[in-house]
Amino acid sequence: MLGYLLKRLIQMTLVLWVVSVIVFLMMSFTGDPVFMVVPIDASDAEIAQARRLLGLDDSLPVQYWKFLTSLLQGDFGRSYVFRQPAMTLILERMPATVELVLVAMALAIAVAIPLGVYAGANPQSRISRVIMAGSLLGISLPGFWIGMVLIYLFAVHWGIFPSSGRGDTVEIFGIRLSILTWDGWTHIVLPAVTLSLATMAIILRITRAGMMEVGRQDFMKFARAKGATRGDVLYKHGLKNALIPVVTIFGLQLGDLIAFATITETIFSWPGMGKLLIDSIYRADRPVIVVYLMLVALIFVVINFLVDVIYMLIDPRIRLK
């Protein structure tokens, strides 16, 4: 077990290192950031000076070495635009994104798993067909369109929910959260629904496929032959066996949503990381983009690791290997 964890840790470090190389190369080949820092009417001498200060006149390997060592020391540079540490900027906005994504994922699971189990257990029923047709819509309709329809209906037309911002927040341990206030909840509903629909549809379909597969297994019939209730057979015996692919997709989707909640955040003016990323790309704010990409890579790697741990918790055959 300990050996396995160590191996995974080394793997994770390796992945992050590769990402750092890719991010560095990408940044070096896309535009010259020196013009972001110098005034428009700067002289050639001033530009050369700035370049030296930014370390841009070194050779690529030297630049990379400096880049890497400062990353390792926790120095991620300052935003050219905000003149603040890039890390601080992102960490300030991260709770908003994580909060939105977690609410969206919770919603997706709460709806998708029961419906998926039902549709998998009763593939012929009319309700199942309706569920599956609905999930197809969820997959094929683009998120931004759904977001705009929701804003039109619930914010503009009926005025039930607000359409932008986070609403009231409460600060806990230095993290600002909106899910602790009623006003915050009303603000999070529409973006969370928008963000969750596609994931909900995918998880639903995977759950259904898994349940149909498991339903054919002898041990399901044997559980019934023991006198177990339908609910126990489906959830305790069936769902657990159908869960491995669901957990896989869940992990991928979770990382995806955290990294790319951008569109939803933009539509609902949700002050999260995604919106910061878009703004930074417009302004070629290189340090912020670098930190963002590294952070997202870290999140993916960690989620992937957690998914593997969950596999082991679910399946004793994996655990004991």
Partner 1 sequence: MTDQPLLAVRDLRTHFHTFSGTVKAVDGVSFEIGQGEVMGLVGESGGGKSVVGFSILGLIDSPGKIEAGEILLDGKNLVAASEAELRKVRGREISMVFQDPMTSLNPLHSVGRQMDEVLRLHTDLDAKARQAACVEMLESVGISRAAERLKAYPHQFSGGMRQRVVIAIALLARPRLIIADEPTTALDVTIQSQILKLMRAQIAEKGASMILITHDLAVVSEMADHITVLYCGKVVERGRTRDLINAPSHPYTRGLIDSIPDTVNRHDRLSQIPGTVPDIRNLPKGCNFRDRCPRAQALCAEVEPQLEPQHGTLSSACHFPLKPGEAA
Sites of contact with partner 1 (CB under 8 A): 124, 217-219, 221-230, 232, 236-237, 240-241, 314-317, 320
* Residue 78 per-residue DSSP state: B
Q: Which residues neighbour 76 within 8 Å (Cβ) at sequence distance 6 or greater?
A: 70, 85, 86, 87, 287, 290, 291, 294
Least Cβ distance, residue 248 to partner 1 (angstroms): 16
- Asked if 244 and 253 touch (Cβ cutoff 8 Å), the reply is no
SS3 88: helix
61 or 231: whose CB is closer to partner 1? 231
| Closest distance of CB 94 from partner 1, Å | 36
**Chain centroid to CA 284: how far?**
23
Q: Which is nearer to partner 1, 157 or 230 (CB)?
A: 230
- In the structure encoding, which two tokens stand for residue 88, read together? 């601080």
Compare residues 66 and 236 and give the one whose CB is closer to partner 1. 236
Rounded CA separation 23/30 (Å): 11
Q: Which of residues 50 and 121 has its CB atom nearest to partner 1 in the complex?
A: 121
Q: At closest approach, how far in Å is the CB of 243 from partner 1?
A: 9
* Strand, coil or helix: 85: strand
Rounded least distance, CB 309 to partner 1, Å: 16
- Least distance in angstroms from the C-beta of 282 to partner 1: 50
Q: Where are the beta strands (DSSP E) in 147-257?
A: 170-172, 175-177
Closer residue to partner 1, CB minimum distance, 7 or 236:
236
3-state SS, residue 171 = strand
What is the spatial distance between Cα 147 and Cα 142, in angstroms, rounded to a whole number?
A: 9
Q: Among residues 253, 296, 252, 254, which one has the least CA distance to residue 274?
A: 296
Could you tell me the smallest distance in angstroms from the CB atom of residue 249 to partner 1? 19
Nearer of residues 73 and 124 to partner 1, judged by Cβ:
124
- Nearer CB in complex with partner 1: 214/301: 214
Query: How far apart, in whole angstroms, are the C-alpha atoms of residue 181 and residue 160?
Result: 17
